[in-house]
Structure 1
């Protein structure tokens, strides 16, 4: 077995509906819409928009030897240990305004009155994809996101690969309505 240091990834993506939120998260956490909203996206009566902030840190990897016995099977070639978090901000505000509020909170600064108003009207969710833990709330959710990102707790993260060409290969079944 080999081990190595790995990677850090972060992004923010705007969503315009619960369906789009589902499509943006289904490969990471298939029922995130149901877990944060209480029912599937296609059962929602209200509209939604907002921003998803994703943080993925792979602290180290452990390579798993591959058997030559199978020509086209899926295998787990590596287990990474790290953390994978989503901060979902559901708000009718523009992405730039949401980004401003999130940056202010991430930097542990005080919100101005406009930012406070945006947070009061928004719904925030911190999703720990490794532990499947979801925290709902307001500013406390950003605090949870920061604490989870800064914690020394690492969890297994993995990807399946094809033995035929060592490419990532996962078949997902989507229920799109």
Structure 2
């Protein structure tokens, strides 16, 4: 018998799938026609739909295993795609990309340990990780806007870099907490 956890066809999952479909569109907008306005709008819609799918999943009791996989996957893909676009357009330095990627690689090393312990590929998302992602998703559109001449460029650069620094710090902090959590699970299983 299927449980609520096994559901695939839910509104929150549909929103997450649509977000996933937006990743290649976003990259094309940034790297092809360099339509930054549309790219920023897509990032904003993706950020709103990220908030909305979680809100609806909880409110309508439509949380599912699939949702817990694709929602953070969509977040990671948007972060990676945005970092790639910003780097290739020479808006951000390579060391920032390396810093964010290093954290994701560290967490990727935890997946085999979690599987060996009988957990899924990931533990539940921590509030700190959500805060880090939110900061980065605020930062990226601002950095795109800061790359264009205009009265708003300097303000966008200041706030964009503030969100990047804060978001990257939280991103690493959440990653360290995740590693600590996996170590505790490993110790408890012995």
Whether these two folds match at TM > 0.5 is no
Structure with max Cα Rg = 1
**Structure richer in strand, relative to its length:** 1
Q: Give the structure with the higher percent helix.
A: 2
TM-score, L = length of structure 1: 0.26
